[in-house]
Structure 1
């Protein structure tokens, strides 16, 4: 009986070590994506676009973007497919928030290069995965 108990303890210990080593590997850490938010205003020489982005565990901070400037970052999705980056935008008297990356929405549409582009314009927020074909996702609120 003692041998069986010792064997089971060693077996469980070995499995936990194997699991933890896999858990730390890239196999379990998800896919990498790049996100880029561009100030696409045509005439805002005196007004900057202020952007602040964060996830639950990572505050990317804020930036003031002149026309043509961008705010970019890379991320890795988590095992549970709950990765979410949220951005707050302010321009003149307008202020809105949006999800710059949400894994369930963006894991397919940011392909083939796992890159998500946002173009912020006076009339709203446009999405692209190639910087050529843009689709308006929503307007300023």
Structure 2
């Protein structure tokens, strides 16, 4: 009986080590191959500023810097895809600014409530005049998540 457990453990380790990386936003790293991604996600940031302001965003994780992006027009959007790692430690955050405000906010982290709100695959964040909203797939509405800090 002990040999059967060892056999299944060996198969599990083999599959974990040989599983291919699913990151679409960046190139594969050794860490991605050793710790495979287990679920696919998309994060989208939308310029919902009705005041014709440019939304500046700079998003990154510990491993990936997605660069500085300017969303110039109303409803312009920036999206990226990635796979959450097996250790459930994937975290993306963004610095955002507009004419009279700024914020630094997490846009993806391992949290079952966030997953539920994102419909288990797609987190849509919209910057509006009063703050940052997350589209809640469960309730079908934008929910205010963070208010702008005044100034730069």
Aligning the two structures, in what range does the TM-score lie when normalised by the shorter sequence? 0.7 to 0.9
State the superposition RMSD in angstroms: 2.7
Map of 2:17 onto structure 1: 23
Shift of 1:98: 0.4
Is 1:121 the counterpart of 2:128 in the alignment?
Answer: yes
Q: CA deviation at 1:107?
A: 2.5
The structure with more helix, counted as a fraction of residues: 1
- The alignment partner of 1:34 has SS state of strand
Q: Is the 8 A contact 1:34 1:116 kept in 2?
A: yes
Question: Which residue does the alignment assign to 1:102?
Answer: 109
Of the candidates 43, 46, 54, which is equivalent to residue 48 of structure 1? 54
Counterpart for residue 92 of structure 1 = 99
Match of 1:32 among 40, 43, 62: 40
| 2:69 is the counterpart of 1:63 | yes
Unaligned runs of 5+ in 1: 1-10
Alpha-carbon deviation of 1:30?
1.5
Question: In structure 2, what is the equivalent of residue 6 of structure 1?
Answer: none
Shift, 1:28, TM fit: 4.5
CA deviations 1:99-125 (Å, max 9, x no partner) are: 11112252232125x111111001011
Task: Check conservation: 1:115, 1:129, Cα contact below 8 A.
Answer: no
CA distance in 2, matches of 1:85, 1:24: 25
Whether contact under 8 Å (2:51, 2:129) holds in the other structure is no
**Max Rg structure:** 1
The CA deviation at 1:80 is 1.1
**Unaligned ranges ≥5, structure 2:** 1-5, 21-34
